[in-house]
Structure 1
Amino acid sequence: MSLHTEHELHKRRKGRNVGVGLLLGGFVVLVLALTVAKVTSGDFELPRIEEGQ
């Protein structure tokens, strides 16, 4: 048994924070997956530095 009951506002805020955290984590995974797909494809080349400029 808890000595201090959690207020309803805190429960809603915690739920919202978990949702935002999951969305942020999903976005990070998406960006990482797109980066890995771009780098591992055969057409990726580092920019060439032209001499004389």
Structure 2
Amino acid sequence: MALRKEHEIHKRRSGRNMGVGILLGAFVVLVLALTMVKVTSNSFKFPDAQGEQN
């Protein structure tokens, strides 16, 4: 049992923090998915390590 009763503002902040965390996780998954689609596409080519030095 907690020593002090949790204040109402902490409950609201907790809900807001969960929402921000979920949105951040969704953004990371979106960036990862877009990267995987880009890399696995047939037209993707890695750039030359040396570059064009002609």
- Pick the TM interval, shorter chain: 0.7 to 0.9
Residue identity over aligned pairs, in percent, reads 65
Deviation of 1:47 (Å)? 2.1
The equivalences for 1:5-44 within 5 A come to: 5-44=5-44
In structure 1, runs of 5+ residues without a counterpart are none
Any idea what the Cα deviations from partners look like across 1:10-41, whole Å, max 9, x if unmatched? Answer: 00001000100000000000000010011011
| Structure-1 separation of matches of 2:53 and 2:23 | 45
1:51 to 34, 50, 53: 53
Unpaired runs of 5+ residues, structure 2, are: none
Shift of 1:2: 2.6
* CA RMSD, Structure 1 to Structure 2 (Å): 1.1
